[in-house]
Amino acid sequence: MLAKRIIPCLDIFNGKVIKGKRFTNHKTIGNVVDFSKYYATSGADELVFYDIAASTENRLLNKSWISKVAESINIPFCVAGGINKVSQAKEIFSLGADKISINTPALNDPFFISRLADVFGSQCVVVGIDSWFIKSSNSYQVKKYTGNQYITNYTNWQTISWIETIQKLGAGEVVINVINQDGLKNGYDIKQLSDIRKHCSIPLIVSGGAGKDQHFLAALKTAKVDGVLAATAFHKNIIDIKNLKRFLLSKGVEVRL
């Protein structure tokens, strides 16, 4: 059995780490390299970086910090933000990233997933999904352009249908961002994750809502996800990663110490 992964998420805007709630009201909280070094020595298994404005501004992410991060840490990291060409992905890998993640570009051109997988291998291609629960229809819908609250909108995809599609196209991993729970520290959406797990045969990472050790435990043990991604809980020192791992081990969850 593969060890479960604990993954801090760093949202990037203008080269700085930011954080908000439900993908809105973002505030600058620190330096990219400083945060990376801190997490690399604090027990994180890998890191994920999202340049939140790249896709909404129709540009590639600011690459200036990628090589600095690669030189500063010894754990894998994934980069996302406006990547919509194979040549752009190649450049980001050349700077030291281990994976790339695509979200809106995949929704705009689903076969982009296949082109990336053909060149770099599925293991390097992560698809991020921003999922929103709609009470009136009791359904989960995929949203895009979530980096800008003024232009974000719904797609025609329901979350599980999109997950089934990206697997067929060659995605090697999926990160599901539960927007309704993001930044609230009330726990992950276990019902949605359990439903998704039944349809997802590739590694499934969850983001959005963790605030207690028990929230991570529920996602990993009840929903059976492969990794848990969090920002607020780690950035604000609400959760210590090493202590979290000890707790998870005590509950029978295999993690790397």
Q: Are 156 and 201 in contact (CB under 8 A)?
A: no
- The sign of the torsion formed by the CA atoms of 176, 256, 172, 231 equals positive
Over residues 189-231, the pLDDT tens digits come to 999 999 999 999 999 999 888 889 999 999 999 999 999 998 8
Q: Minimum mean pLDDT among 138-142, 148-152, 177-181: which range?
A: 148-152
Query: Closest Cα to residue 49, out of 37, 59, 61, 41?
Result: 61
> Which residues lie across from 230 on neighbouring strands?
8
Q: In this predicted structure, what is the pLDDT of residue 160?
A: 96
Please, are residues 55 and 105 in contact by the beta-carbon 8 Å criterion? yes
If one compares 181 and 237, the residue with the highest pLDDT of the two is 237
Determine the length of the chain. 257
pLDDT at 113: 98
247: β partners: none
Give per-residue pLDDT as tens, 42-96.
999 999 998 877 766 777 787 888 999 999 999 999 999 889 999 999 999 999 9
Beta-carbon contacts of 236 under 8 Å, excluding residues fewer than 6 positions away, are: none
pLDDT band of 147, cuts 50, 70, 90 = low
Task: Judge whether 153 and 145 are in contact, CB under 8 Å.
Answer: yes
Catalytic residue positions, numbered: 11, 130
More confident residue, 214 or 183: 214
Residue 212 to residue 97: CA distance in whole angstroms: 30
pLDDT of 6 over the 60 cut:
yes
Task: State how far the alpha carbon of 162 is from the alpha carbons of 56, 109, 131, 204, in Å.
Answer: 20, 13, 10, 14
pLDDT tens figures, 85-141 = 999 999 999 999 999 999 989 999 999 999 999 999 999 999 999 998 888 888 899
Q: Tens digit of pLDDT for each residue in 14-32?
A: 777 876 554 455 666 678 9
What integer is the mean pLDDT of 241-247?
97
32: its two tokens? 């990219």
